[in-house]
Amino acid sequence: MSSHYKPRYNAAPSQLLPVLTSEQPEGFSWFYWGLSPDRSRNKAISERIINRRTEDLLKKPAYGKSLAGHRCLIPADGFYFWKQVGKKTQVPYRAVLPEKSIFGIAGLWEEFETEKGEINHTFSMITCPATSALTGIIDRVPMILNEAGEKIWLKSPYESEARRLITESVNVSLDYYSVSPAIEQESKDLPSMLLHTAPADQFGNLTLFG
């Protein structure tokens, strides 16, 4: 584990986060999720590149170069999602593996030059249609790889192998529980964010529809 690693409890787009890349699979690289902070002001663009859909990766030839050599793994032990319980009401939840272990989410990374001539790196998380326990609650979930899939994703030089993993991706079994609506505040990055709380909407109002 890198000495620079610091646990995160409320990671969000445009933040600098650790990933494992196909170029350097033995140690963490620190890339911005989606866009670096100075470029994230354009919401229309940033929301499109935070995540990449498996369907798009398979259909669009433009992703060939990224699938061939710009793959990465995003380490995590859970992810947050919001359950719609009314027209304007959402309840935040956290999804974890049943054994609550760390897993790898498939991703793609990019390199770009800033206006100041600096080289920055970003990554996008790959998502697939939700199945199993989350069907009917949310539409999409991160593409979680098993141990064999992680090795192929990071170390195989073949684009075809990456496409095969995407085609065969099956959502793993997940448990989930409601968390505090404080998760909406990116400035709050505390261990308490992981704790189960009674279902409450984004305004802090308790709900019976969690």
Nearest to 180 by CA among 88, 99, 80: 80
Instruction: Output Rg (C-alpha) for the chain, integer angstroms.
Output: 17
Angstrom distance (rounded) from CA 143 to CA 195: 24
104 contacts: CB under 8 Å, gap ≥ 6: 20, 73, 74, 75, 76, 144, 145, 150, 153
Name residue 19's beta-bridge partners: 29
Residue 195 near residue 9 (C-beta atoms within 8 A): no
Mean pLDDT, range 3-16, rounded to an integer: 83
Name the residue with higher pLDDT: 2 or 82.
82
Q: How many CB atoms sit inside 10 A of residue 7's CB?
A: 8
CATH superfamily of 16-77+100-172: SOS response associated peptidase-like (3.90.1680.10)
**Which tens digits make up the pLDDT trace of 74-115?**
999 999 999 988 777 889 999 999 999 999 999 999 988 777
Q: How many CB atoms sit inside 10 A of residue 42's CB?
A: 10
Mean pLDDT, range 145-171, rounded to an integer: 91
Name the residue with higher pLDDT: 63 or 25.
63
Name the residue with higher pLDDT: 25 or 82.
82
Quote the tokens at residue 191.
């261990």
pLDDT value for 172 = 83
Q: Is the pLDDT of residue 120 over 50?
A: yes
Mean pLDDT, range 138-148, rounded to an integer: 94
Q: Rounded mean pLDDT of the chain?
A: 86
Question: pLDDT band at 203, cuts 50/70/90?
Answer: low
pLDDT value for 6 = 79
pLDDT value for 148 = 93
Quote the tokens at residue 118.
């600096």
Mean pLDDT, range 183-202, rounded to an integer: 87
**Which tens digits make up the pLDDT trace of 37-53?**
655 555 555 455 799 99
Question: pLDDT band at 1, cuts 50/70/90?
Answer: very low
Q: How many CB atoms sit inside 10 A of residue 169's CB?
A: 18
The dihedral formed by the CA atoms of 109, 36, 90 and 195, expressed in degrees to the nearest 10: 80
* Domain boundary assignment for the chain: 16-77+100-172
pTM value is 0.88
Quote the tokens at residue 175.
């448990």
pLDDT value for 136 = 83
Q: Is the pLDDT of residue 200 over 90?
A: no
